[in-house]
Amino acid sequence: MAERSRSAKRIAIIPGDGIGKEVIPEAVKVLKAAAAAGGRELALTEFDWGADRYLRDGTTLPADAPEMFRRDFDAILLGALGDPRVPGNQHGSDILIGLRFKLDLYVNARPCELFDRRLTPLKDRTEKDINFIVFRENTEGLYSGVGGFFKKGTADEIATQEDINTRKGVERIIRYAFEFARGRGLKRVCMSDKSNALAFGHDLWQRVFTEVRREYTEIESSHMYIDNLLMQMMRDPSQFQVIVTCNLFGDIASDLGAGLIGGLGLAPSGNIHPGEVSLFEPVHGSAPDIAGKNIANPMGAVLAAGMMCAYLGWTAEAQNIEKAVRAAIREGKTTADIGGPLGTRQVGDWLANRVASS
Ligand code: NAD
Ligand code: IPM
Ligand code: MN
């Protein structure tokens, strides 16, 4: 283990599509600067998976990719996948959901921390009011791909999409949320489901939550139905510290969370299997509406690289990156989505310089 931590970190870089190809080079720039400042070594390998490659030769996620990542890499940094030329997002599902499932990255950690009160659309809210993390179950639920068509394309068509909830899957994400809270000295965990309507799968969430919470008596645990949770997140986000929920609800809640802190341009995430190769990415997608214009905010991708450093044990580098982002916001060195005058590359340059000189 000691040997491993001394050696270079082997990072797979998947820029993907649209603004992924613009924000990831900036995140890599900042990551390299942080590594250099800390005297750390990086071994980066880029993969050209995305819509262009898929349309050219049909490649999505090669069959041996999960094994390769487990064997040869410490972490993966991904931009986004999605392209209007691929309406069903086949390549995106194969690559992104494929990696989440095949690497068993069961924790999708999506922090929502307000870095500057000027960035929230909520009236009279300040930094102390918005600082929570959404733990999204990331390996099952409605994303399992179980279902199908019957009589497709006819007037009698039937389409099913099964919501898969396993005892193991539900328990490990709920337990992770409580362990995270305990480890950080946080006081509140809120589990959100729709057990009032989804009588089987979410009944399981209820029962597991009731059982697991008993082991964490120092933590105030609560439950909210997802519809109420989203309303409460907006009405009074200060009541939340840790939110844990299923795959689809976590997807939705984390976009709302991003909206509370200044938008998707700022939100990072980690797809994690503790102790194993894990994948870090901004929460946003490929944003075809702004792609290719050098206006996308690279900070979500940069902060995702920071989360990756923290995961790899590069604590000082992670802090260096986050401090640089906070400074850029404070000094207005940002893209237009959060009010600044700079382009994607200029923000990346500024952050890399800041990180290098700290
Ligand atoms: P999106 O996140 O790409 O964009 C939503 C809105 O936020 C757009 O108005 C966009 O311009 C803005 N936005 C997003 N990121 C931004 C940034 N960094 N800076 C400034 N503005 C930003 O979501 P969408 O439009 O629903 O999806 C577009 C494509 O991306 C679709 O193909 C979708 O499937 C895919 N997608 C991929 C991922 C992923 O790979 N992780 C995540 C979400 C969506
Ligand atoms: C996300 C995205 C993906 C998801 C899509 C692109 C499949 O929205 O990472 O939040 O729904 O998980
Ligand atoms: Mn999403």
What does pLDDT average to over the chain? 97
**How does DSSP assign 183-245, residue by residue?**
HHT--EEEEEE-TTT-TTHHHHHHHHHHHHHTT-TTSEEEEEEHHHHHHHHHH-GGG-SEEEE
Q: How confident is the model at residue 7 (pLDDT cuts 50, 70, 90)?
A: confident
pLDDT tens digit sequence for 42-57: 999 999 999 999 999 9
Side chain identity at 3, as an amino acid letter? E
Paired tokens of 17:
């599509």
Residue 235 falls within a domain, yes or no? yes
Compute the distance between CA of residue 89 and CA of residue 83 in angstroms, rounded to an integer. Answer: 7
Q: Whose CA is nearest to atom 22 of ligand 1?
A: 265
CB 34 within 8 A of CB 3: no
- Identify whether the C-beta of residue 108 lies closer than 8 Å to the C-beta of residue 137: yes
Identify which of 245, 288, 293 has the alpha carbon closest to the alpha carbon of residue 110.
Answer: 245
6, pLDDT greater than 80:
no
Asked if 23 and 64 sit in the same domain, the reply is yes
Q: Which atom of ligand 1 is nearest to the CA of 337?
A: 20
For a mutational test of ligand 2's pocket, the pick from 17, 93, 96, 144, i.e. the residue with the most ligand atoms closer than 8 A to its C-beta, is 96
- What is the spatial distance between Cα 54 and Cα 37, in angstroms, rounded to a whole number? 37
> What secondary structure letter does DSSP report for 73?
-
In ligand 2, the atom with minimum distance to the C-alpha of 93 is 7
C-alpha closest to that of 263 among 299, 289, 238? 299
Supply φ then ψ for residue 241, to 5 degrees.
-120, -50
Report CA(144)–ligand 2 centroid distance (Å): 13
- In this structure, the answer to whether residues 304 and 257 fall within a common structural domain is no
Structure confidence at residue 143 (pLDDT)? 97
Same domain as 337, residue 255: no
| Structure-token pair, residue 166 | 């396993």
Residue 75 lies in a domain: yes
Q: Examine residue 267 and state whether it is found in any structural domain, yes or no.
A: no
- In the block, tokens 């959060």 appear at 338
pLDDT band at 358 (very low <50, low <70, confident <90, very high): confident
Domain for residue 173, yes or no?
Answer: yes
Tell me the pLDDT tens digit for each residue of 290-309: 999 999 999 999 999 999 99
Tokens of 323: 């401090």
Measured from the Cα of 254, ligand 2's closest atom is 10
Going by CA atoms, what residue is nearest to atom 4 of ligand 2?
251
Cα dihedral value 18, 20, 21, 26, nearest 10: 140
Q: What percent of the chain has pLDDT over 70?
A: 98
- Domains identified in the chain, total number: 2
Q: Is residue 140 classed as helix, strand or coil in its secondary structure?
A: coil
Q: How many CA atoms lie within 13 A of 190 on its CB side?
A: 21
pLDDT one-digit tens code per residue, 115-159: 999 999 999 999 999 999 999 999 999 999 999 999 999 999 999
CA of 40 to the centre of ligand 3 (A): 32
From the CA of 290, how far away is ligand 3's center (Å)?
17
In the predicted structure, residue 262 carries a pLDDT above the cut 50: yes
5 exposure class (CB count in 10 Å sphere: 0-12, 13-18, 19+): exposed
- Residues within 6 Å of ligand 2 by CB: 82, 92, 96-97, 251, 283, 285
Amino acid at 333: K
Question: Domain residues for 52?
Answer: 1-105+273-358
Write out the two tokens for 74: 């410490």
- Can you give the pLDDT at residue 3? 40
Is the model's pLDDT at 1 over the cut of 70? no
pLDDT in tens, 73-124: 999 999 999 999 999 999 999 999 999 999 999 999 999 999 999 999 999 9
Measure 332 CA to ligand 1 centroid, in angstroms: 23
Nearest ligand, CA 88:
1
| 213 and 286 part of one domain | no
The pLDDT tens digits for 191-243 are: 999 999 999 999 999 999 999 999 999 999 999 999 999 999 999 999 999 99
State which of 211, 236, 262 marks the end of a domain: 262
Instruction: Take atom 10 of ligand 2 and give the residue whose Cα is closest.
Output: 251
Q: Inform me whether the pLDDT recorded for 4 exceeds 50.
A: no
Within a domain: 14: yes
Three-state DSSP class for residue 331: coil
Which residues, judged by CB distance below 6 Å to any ligand atom, belong to the binding site of ligand 1?
19, 23, 80-82, 89, 92, 96, 264-265, 281, 284-290, 296-297, 300, 337
Question: Which atom number of ligand 1 is nearest to the Cα of residue 83?
Answer: 32
Which segments of the chain does DSSP mark as H helices, in order?
2-6, 20-37, 51-57, 65-72, 90-92, 98-102, 167-184, 201-213, 226-235, 247-261, 299-311, 315-330, 344-356
Distance 79 CA to ligand 3 centre (A): 13
Residue 35 counted as domain residue: yes
2's CB contacts (< 8 A; 6+ apart) are none
Q: Can you tell me whether residue 340 is helix, strand or coil?
A: coil
CATH for 153: 3.40.718.10
Query: What tens digit of pLDDT does each residue of 271-282 get?
Result: 999 999 999 999
Q: Which sequence positions are flagged as catalytic?
A: 143, 194, 227, 251, 255
